[in-house]
């Protein structure tokens, strides 16, 4: 029998969490590695779209300009939602790690790597929005900018998409560490624009979809859930939880497990610095 089949389940349990913990610790220790890993993962859908566009079968069936226009729009919206989902995902991870008494992940700072991905994901969303707009102007409008002005007036989905794009623009321009330092507390305030930008992007999709197409509504529901969670989270945060400007927590900040019963709501997420590694 091969060696790997003879490994017992208990061995697997002993090795697996340790392997996961080591990998996550590595991600936390080397933000650059986490950044490049995210870039590679995010490049995959774009590469697949580009590969799909040059397939003769695809060209025969669908107008490649349609695919070129729509796919970056979709990828941009999905990445925007992922950027918004990162903070709730961190909170969920901490709560799961605490509930299952995992070896790693009970402290907010254990998930700093996840929070650090928010900016690259947001920037990638913007890059796809730029590609989407460029393809629209170059291939759909043949660079006739007066047609763009007419579309802005006559097609509400174009006006709404443009408003969303204009909100994403300052976020992408100020996404560097330098701008974050220079702007101080205003950086966080400005980056709240991601919420209306996402709402407008979802509305853009709803307005342009043909009647009976459900996908834009799925995006809208997901977005509503994320916004609801964010608003609840904001109320919790005002009770003394101190995030750093980029959303990460100081190293070794822990979250006490959620207490049971009626006290749970009041005392949830108290952060205490600890020297445990």
Residues that bind ligand HEM (CB under 6 A): 69-70, 73-74, 76-77, 80, 129, 132-133, 136, 158, 161-162, 164-165, 201, 204-205, 208
Smaller CB distance to ligand HEM: residue 184 or 196? Answer: 196
Q: Of 73, 127, 108, 151, which is closest to residue 244 (Cα–Cα)? A: 108
- Separation of alpha carbons 187 and 118, rounded Å: 14
Residue 75: what are its φ and ψ, rounded to 5°? -60, -40
Which is nearer to ligand HEM, 53 or 241 (by Cβ)? 53
State the Cα–Cα distance between residues 82 and 96, nearest whole angstrom.
20
106 burial type by CB count under 10 A (0-12 exposed, 13-18 middle, 19+ buried): buried
Distance CA 42, CA 78 (A): 11
Between 113 and 136, whose beta carbon lies closer to ligand HEM?
136
The minimum distance between CB 167 and ligand HEM, in angstroms, equals: 9
Q: CB of 246: closest distance to ligand HEM in angstroms?
A: 22
C-alpha angle with apex 162: 59 to 153, nearest 5 degrees? 95
d(CA 77, CA 219): 8
Distance in Å, CB of 34 to ligand HEM, minimum: 24
- State the nearest-atom distance from the C-beta of 123 to ligand HEM, in Å: 13
Nearer to ligand HEM, 125 or 248 (CB): 125
Nearer to ligand HEM, 211 or 240 (CB): 211
> Nearest approach, Cβ of 216 to ligand HEM (angstroms)?
8
What the block records as the tokens of 170 is 């300052």
């Amino acid at each position: 029998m091969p060696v790997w089949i003879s490994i017992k389940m208990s061995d697997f349990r002993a090795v697996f969490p340790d392997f996961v913990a080591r990998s996550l610790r590595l991600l936390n220790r080397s933000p650059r590695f986490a950044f490049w890993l995210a870039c590679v993962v995010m490049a995959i859908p774009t590469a697949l779209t580009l590969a799909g566009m040059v397939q003769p079968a695809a060209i025969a069936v669908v107008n490649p300009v349609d695919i070129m226009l729509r796919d970056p729009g979709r990828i941009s919206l999905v990445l925007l939602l992922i950027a918004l989902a990162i903070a709730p995902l961190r909170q969920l991870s901490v709560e799961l790690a605490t509930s299952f008494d995992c070896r790693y992940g009970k402290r907010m700072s254990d998930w700093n790597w996840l929070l650090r991905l928010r900016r690259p994901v947001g920037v990638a969303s913007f890059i796809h929005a730029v590609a989407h707009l460029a393809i629209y102007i170059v291939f759909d409008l043949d660079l006739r900018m007066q047609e763009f002005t007419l579309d802005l007036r006559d097609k509400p989905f174009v006006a709404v998409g443009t408003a969303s794009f204009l909100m994403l623009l300052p976020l992408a321009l100020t996404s560097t560490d330098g701008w974050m330092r220079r702007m101080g507390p205003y950086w966080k305030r400005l980056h709240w624009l991601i919420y209306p930008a996402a709402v407008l992007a979802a509305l853009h999709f709803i307005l342009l979809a043909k009647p009976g197409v459900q996908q834009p509504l799925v995006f809208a529901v997901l977005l509503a859930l994320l916004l609801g969670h964010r608003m609840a989270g904001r109320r919790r945060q005002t009770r003394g939880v101190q995030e750093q400007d980029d959303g990460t927590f100081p190293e070794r900040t822990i979250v006490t497990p959620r207490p049971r019963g009626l006290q749970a709501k009041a005392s949830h997420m108290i952060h205490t610095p600890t020297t445990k590694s």
